[in-house]
Amino acid sequence: MQKKVSDQKKSFEDRLLQKYEQIIIRNPKDLQKYLCKWCRDGGSPFYSGLWNNCDAHFETKSHLKIAESYQISQIEDSRL
Given a cut of 80, is residue 7 above it in pLDDT? no
Q: What is the pLDDT of residues 30-76, one digit of tens each?
A: 999 999 999 999 999 999 999 999 999 999 999 999 999 887 766 66
User: How confident is residue 9, by pLDDT bands cut at 50, 70 and 90?
Assistant: confident
Query: What are the distances in angstroms from CA 42 to CA 3, 6, 13, 18, 39?
Result: 35, 34, 23, 22, 5
Q: Domain tally for the chain?
A: 1
Instruction: Tell me the residue length of the chain.
Output: 80
- Residue 46: how many CB atoms within 10 A of its CB? 14
- What's residue 1's pLDDT? 47
- What's residue 77's pLDDT? 62
As a whole number of Å, the end-to-end CA separation of the chain is: 41
Residue 26, helix vs strand vs coil: strand
What's the pTM? Answer: 0.79
Quote the domain boundaries for residue 25.
2-79
